[in-house]
Structure 1
Amino acid sequence: MHTETPRFEGKVALVTGGSSGIGAATARRLLDEGAQVVITGRDGDRLDAAVREFDSGDRVLAIPGDVAHIADLDSLVARIRHRHNRIDVLFANAGTAAFVPTAEITEDDFDRVVAINFKGVFFTVQKALPLMPENSAIVVTSSWAVHRGVPAAALYSATKAATGNLARSLAAELAPRRIRVNAISPGYIETPSYLADVSAAAQAAAVSTVAAGRLGTSADIAATVAFLASDQASYVNGQDIVVDGGLIAAVPGTMV
């Protein structure tokens, strides 16, 4: 009987925003496919809870930290260097939502969202690169909202557009090192934060605009990230992969 080697056997993956939702689901997927995984996030208790849920022994390492703080990123990378001395897969996923009318956004709001959603992604990549060998892969989280105008999302969408553009630029810059860089743009995803922040009526309204007829799951996104990070996607580079159940490209039959 032929048994395929897991796609990430012998690989080391770093997942930011890895304590819940899309980040946790992706960490789980990479662990299931053989990777050694490092997760990071601001809440140490949630990180510890995620590690217990993974139940993967010493194949997962949780390191608390805030991607908006360069010192935390330096500490994160130093610990990964000490533990593994390499990063084969980087999923720069940490982010924050900010759906506020433009007229109501304060300078503090602006600085916070930009610091997490763009500065954090940029410097996560910069700090990780010295540990990334040839044939490694980077995936950054963008959003479906960069492809359509969304009310009260100007700041959020702008930062997510920046991460998507960063992926394209880095794909070109890192090509000589044979490091691939792609973005993923999730649609409406049934994460704990989405379910907590969005009313049942608003969720139903969102589903009505999705051709697939349902919200996406974190597992849907994790499967796509795992593909982009794997050798199966060796010719996929500089792309923004939209995973939204047809939200942007297709009109649901109920709306025709």
Structure 2
Amino acid sequence: MVGARPARRVPRLGRLVLHHRRDLHHRRRRARRRAGADQVSPPTRVVTRVPKAKSPFFDLEGRRALVIGAEHPHGAAIARAYAEAGADVALAALTADEAVVRARAVQREVEALGRKGSTYVMDVMLGKNVEVTMRQIAKEMGGLDIVASCPDLFLAKPMARTSDTELARVMQANFNSQYFIVRHAAEEFRRQQQPGRIVLTTSVLGTRGLPNTTAYAAASGAVVNLVRSAAIEVAPDRIQVNGIALGWMDWMQDRLSPEDDEAQRAVRFTALRRQGRADEVGPLAVYLSSERATRYITGQIFPVDGGLLLHL
């Protein structure tokens, strides 16, 4: 029809809604830009370090430990393990200057773990010296809960070539000293009227001998029976005594003569085909020193020997 007005085109409703949504989206985006929130960085991942919960069987929190012989590798390892488990640690070394220096180095490691550490000199060859020094340490620490003894005087000689002086020194250092330590540690625990844990270290040669180690093996065997007998004697006072028997450890390599077939066989016959490390002694000492873990364990010798006794 001429002069008729063109029909109005009505947009689809869907398209109107679509444009409306896009417009709304852009308006909101512009508003965020004006507010400075247009560039939103992804959320930062916050890593919170949660302290590992200690197993109750390896928890020495609040305990007070004395490690005698801390200048030796296994003594130092036990002291570190005690500190890692939460104990305050006193370290006792022999009178030799180099022994005290090594013990003080261990003390710094203990303190770096957030525990109290202290170093003392203890002449373990005489019972009276052990008694006086242990009493002093207990007073300064406010008491003792754990005493670990870690002597290490080795002698490899045939009996025919071992002098009386050498025999006496090996027995004094490896057995007599531990006898004095057990006796006076038990006295200290009784004085405090509380339970106590005593851990002695010795050698697997105390249960299996090798040629040319007779004096050393005899002293080690005496410690084995000291653990068993003392455990019975002090049990009524809630004191428990256990021992750790070491096999061939990595710091003992210089003790083995290449010409000594029996000694070299001991290394070859270790089931795990390697020498032990000092840090493999510490966890067992912590376990044996835990009040909860050792409620029903006393008078026992635990070998840390990689299976050496299986072949000797």
For 2:264 and 2:174, locate their aligned partners in 1 and report how far apart those are by CA, in whole Å: 27
1:104-253 map, 5 Å: 104-132=161-189, 133-191=193-251, 194-198=252-256, 206-230=266-290, 231-249=292-310
Question: Is the Cα contact below 8 Å between 2:69 and 2:93 reproduced in 1?
Answer: yes
For 1:179 and 1:50, locate their aligned partners in 2 and report how far apart those are by CA, in whole Å: 27
For 2:144 and 2:238, locate their aligned partners in 1 and report how far apart those are by CA, in whole Å: 14
For residues 122-143 of structure 1, the C-alpha deviation after alignment (integer angstroms, 9 at most, x for no partner) is: 1111122222253321111121
For 1:62 and 1:83, locate their aligned partners in 2 and report how far apart those are by CA, in whole Å: 12
Instruction: State the shift of 1:205 in Å.
Output: 5.5
Q: 1:82 to 1:134 in 2, by over 3 A?
A: closer
Pair 1:50 & 2:106 matched: yes
Question: Is the Cα contact below 8 Å between 1:141 and 1:160 reproduced in 2?
Answer: no
What percentage of residue pairs aligned between the two structures are identical? 29
Question: Is the Cα contact below 8 Å between 2:156 and 2:255 reproduced in 1?
Answer: no
Q: 1:236 to 1:196 in 2, by over 3 A?
A: same
User: What secondary structure sits across from 2:250 in the alignment?
Assistant: coil
**Residue aligning to 2:70:** 18
Q: Which amino acid aligns with 2:84?
A: D
For residues 85-143 of structure 1, the C-alpha deviation after alignment (integer angstroms, 9 at most, x for no partner) is: 32211112123111111001111111111111111001111122222253321111121
Question: Is the Cα contact below 8 Å between 1:41 and 1:94 reproduced in 2?
Answer: no
User: What secondary structure sits across from 1:182 in the alignment?
Assistant: strand
Pair 1:28 & 2:80 matched: yes
For 1:240 and 1:200, locate their aligned partners in 2 and report how far apart those are by CA, in whole Å: 30
**Residue aligning to 1:74:** 131
- Give the aligned CA root-mean-square deviation in angstroms: 2.4
TM-score (norm 2): 0.73
- What are the ranges of 5 or more consecutive residues in structure 1 without an aligned counterpart? 252-256
Question: Is the Cα contact below 8 Å between 2:67 and 2:148 reproduced in 1?
Answer: yes
Q: 1:248 to 1:221 in 2, by over 3 A?
A: same
For residues 166-193 of structure 1, the C-alpha deviation after alignment (integer angstroms, 9 at most, x for no partner) is: 11111111111111111111111112xx
For 2:230 and 2:245, locate their aligned partners in 1 and report how far apart those are by CA, in whole Å: 17
| Rg larger for | 2
User: What secondary structure sits across from 1:174 in the alignment?
Assistant: helix
User: What secondary structure sits across from 2:293 in the alignment?
Assistant: helix
User: What secondary structure sits across from 1:131 in the alignment?
Assistant: helix
Instruction: State the shift of 1:56 in Å.
Output: 4.3
For 1:129 and 1:149, locate their aligned partners in 2 and report how far apart those are by CA, in whole Å: 30
TM-score (norm 1): 0.88
For 2:145 and 2:258, locate their aligned partners in 1 and report how far apart those are by CA, in whole Å: 40
Q: 1:56 to 1:100 in 2, by over 3 A?
A: same
Moved more, 222-231 or 68-77: 68-77
Task: State which of 155, 158, 164 in structure 2 corresponds to 1:101.
Answer: 158
Question: Is the Cα contact below 8 Å between 1:85 and 1:131 reproduced in 2?
Answer: no
Q: 1:201 to 1:56 in 2, by over 3 A?
A: farther
Instruction: State the shift of 1:229 in Å.
Output: 1.3
For residues 38-63 of structure 1, the C-alpha deviation after alignment (integer angstroms, 9 at most, x for no partner) is: 11111222222222344346611110
Q: 1:156 to 1:197 in 2, by over 3 A?
A: closer
Question: Is the Cα contact below 8 Å between 1:12 and 1:36 reproduced in 2?
Answer: yes
Pair 1:83 & 2:135 matched: no
Moved more, 225-234 or 180-189: 225-234
Q: Which has the higher contact order (CA 8 A, sep 6+)?
A: 1
Q: 1:44 to 1:95 in 2, by over 3 A?
A: same
For 2:128 and 2:188, locate their aligned partners in 1 and report how far apart those are by CA, in whole Å: 17
